[in-house]
Amino acid sequence: MKINKKIKERFWAKVKKGGEDDCWEWIGAKARKYGYSKIKGKFIGAHKLSYKINKGLIPKGILVLHSCDNPPCVNPKHLWLGTQLENMKDRDKKGRMARGEKIGICKLTQKQVNEIREKYNKRDISQRGLAKQYKISQFNISLIINNKTWKI
């Protein structure tokens, strides 16, 4: 896609700039926190469009990543190219991986997990008994007790 003057003008009209090193917020359309624009009938992420306008082409199979971890940011100083693996390593290094109660489908709280471990360590109840009490499978109780999930 060729980035012409009209596309650049439309892009910058939807950006709230801060200082040179601050996040520049996309104030246009958003989906799942990321800004996007429609160019020649195709949707493109605002951060990708910013990268193309300010830095150039994005190689096939490469992602535009945020050093600021702010999805609507389009400041080119905060954008860098990387692979999916680099994106996941960056996520893990910065602690952005949902864990414990932050996982949307989670059935237990950290307090309940602590109770499960405590009860099992005291030998007050079996894994099956805990599973029944907390309405989860015995397999999941085993994963918790053996520190495979809900790691300490």
Nearest-angstrom CA–CA distance, 101 and 60: 36
CA distances to 117, 118, 142 from 75, rounded to whole Å, are 46, 48, 46
pLDDT tens figures, 79-111: 999 999 999 888 878 877 655 565 555 788 889
| pLDDT of 132 higher than 80 | yes
* pLDDT at residue 150, rounded to an integer: 75
pLDDT value of residue 108: 85
Q: Helix H segments across 1-152?
A: 5-12, 46-54, 84-93, 110-121, 127-134, 138-145
Q: Which residues, other chains included, contact 143 with Cβ-Cβ below 8 Å and sequence gap of 6+?
A: 149, 150
Answer for the pair 65, 80: CB distance below 8 angstroms, yes or no.
yes
* Cα-trace Rg, the chain: 23
Using pLDDT thresholds of 50, 70 and 90, give the confidence band for residue 73: very high
Q: CATH 3.90.75: which residues of the chain?
A: 5-93
The model's pTM is: 0.65
Q: What residues contact 120, with CB distance under 8 A and at least 6 apart? A: 127, 130, 141, 145
At the top level of CATH, which class does the domain 5-93 belong to?
alpha beta
User: What pLDDT does residue 79 have?
Assistant: 97
d(CA 51, CA 70): 15
At residue 47, the pLDDT reads 97
Helix (H, G, I), strand (E, B) or coil at 66: strand
What CA–CA distance (Å, rounded) separates 114 from 147? 11
Name the token pair of 145. Answer: 């007790």
pLDDT at 100: 56
Q: Report pLDDT digits (tens) over 22-66.
A: 999 999 999 989 999 998 889 999 999 999 999 999 999 999 999
Nearest in space to 80 (alpha carbons), one of 90, 94, 67, 89: 67
How much is the pLDDT for 91?
81
